[in-house]
Amino acid sequence: MKSLDKNTQSEGGDRSVPQPVDGAASQPREKFSLRSLMRGDMGFIPVLLTLAVITLYFQLTTSGIFLQARNLTNLTQQIVTISILSVAAVLVLLLGEIDLSLAAVAQACAAIMAVLSVYGGWNAGAAILAALLAGALIGLLNGFFIAVLRVPSFIVTLAGSIGYAGFLLLVLGDQSTLIVRDPAIRSIAPTYLHPAIGWGLPIALLILYGLGLLFEQQRRRQAGLKARSTGQVATQIGIAAAVVIVMIFLFQSYQGVPQAVMIALAIVVAFWLILKKTQFGRHLYAVGGNAEAARRAGINVVGMKLAVFTLASTLAAFAGIMLTSRSTAVATQVSSTLLLNAIAAAVIGGVSLFGGRGTVWAVVLGALIIGSLDNGLDLMNQPQSVKSMVQGAVLLLAVTVDAVVRRSGLKTGR
């Protein structure tokens, strides 16, 4: 049982239990090459190249407007809600399940916060906490039907999406929108950080990310498992550092680093650490890879599913809070694209629809691709019909690649 807990790979999709070895020396180190770079966490390079092509295309077709600091600031703020909701989608997808109620939960919980703030006179902290608790209870309810009663997650969350949309209408009553006037709630998303914090916080997160990669490399070598080469780790840290530094320069040249962007990034880093460094993360990948094998290995599969759906709906509630802070109002109509964009961001970033494979960093790249397409086509004055068709084509391509990679992995035994 414990060998699975300690040695199951977290993010590569390999869910076999390694046999004991006599030391790290018995495992040859993988040479640094382009092929090795494309595996593991660096498998996001094709997605990164896709983002680079999209960026170059819109930069040329919009006469340089796309990469201006003002537009990039707006772009990153626009994808904050999708990014947070996509983290929730990643957790559920890694489990091998689906949650179609995330968007409805986000707006229903935001409505609870708005009503308590506007009509109940609650302060911002209490109203936000009530919304988060509502999200957690909804997730626990979803998890109960899925994990305990074993109703398919597709059916449970589809029914939940319809029901929570109705609850949203009930809470808001006859109003089509409810404007939130609490300055504390309204200031969460649009605030810009002080320049010192705007530089210090991203660099601190970057250092934490780099140390995590180095620690993981050392831990795997000491355990006698195949580890990334120094070249792979250095390249991964270098790419991340380059992107972070360039983005900070661009932000600071406009109005500073948006607080909402840092909140979303902090959530991604936190869940990356949880999935990568904790027993909970290892068990999540194990259950997503093969629930029956995980159960036989002593993992509490029911408890894992309850925890994941509770976390997912709580994150959805927080996404709704961020959306409300940015728009300053809650609407009775659940966004028709919010859920699809969140799931699309996860899948485009490399998270498998079949469970057990992917990384939470998929959220960043996937959301940037979705947001870049939407933003760039807006700058080109393209209608919604064109935007929907383009996004649909990109999502279909990502799912197709995922299916092909999965079949290829089964043939090669990986």
pLDDT tens digits along 178-207:
999 999 999 999 899 988 988 988 888 888
Give the pLDDT confidence score for residue 149 in this predicted structure: 94
Q: Which residues does residue 258 pair with via DSSP β-bridges, in sequence order?
A: 192
In angstroms, rounded to a whole number, what is the distance separating the alpha carbons of residues 362 and 351?
7
pLDDT bucket at 410, cuts 50 / 70 / 90: low
CATH entry, 2-12+49-191+258-404, from 1.10.3470, 1.10.150, 1.20.120, 1.10.20: 1.10.3470
For residue 367, pLDDT over 60 is answered with yes
Residue range 332-358, pLDDT digits in tens: 888 878 898 898 888 888 887 777 778
For residue 1, pLDDT over 60 is answered with no
For residue 309, pLDDT over 50 is answered with yes
Nearest to 364 by CA among 256, 234, 239: 239
Residue range 231-271, pLDDT digits in tens: 888 888 888 888 888 889 888 888 889 999 999 988 998 99
Contact 76, 315 (CB under 8 A): no
Give the pLDDT confidence score for residue 220 in this predicted structure: 84
**DSSP code per residue over 215-260:** HHHHHHHHTT-----HHHHHHHHHHHHHHHHHHHHHHHTTT--BHH
Contact 41, 236 (CB under 8 A): yes
In angstroms, rounded to a whole number, what is the distance separating the alpha carbons of residues 352 and 93?
7
Q: Is 367 left (phi over 0), alpha (psi -120 to 50) or beta?
A: alpha
For residue 407, pLDDT over 70 is answered with no
Residue-averaged pLDDT of the chain = 84
Q: Which residues does residue 179 pair with via DSSP β-bridges, in sequence order?
A: 329
Give the pLDDT confidence score for residue 413 in this predicted structure: 52
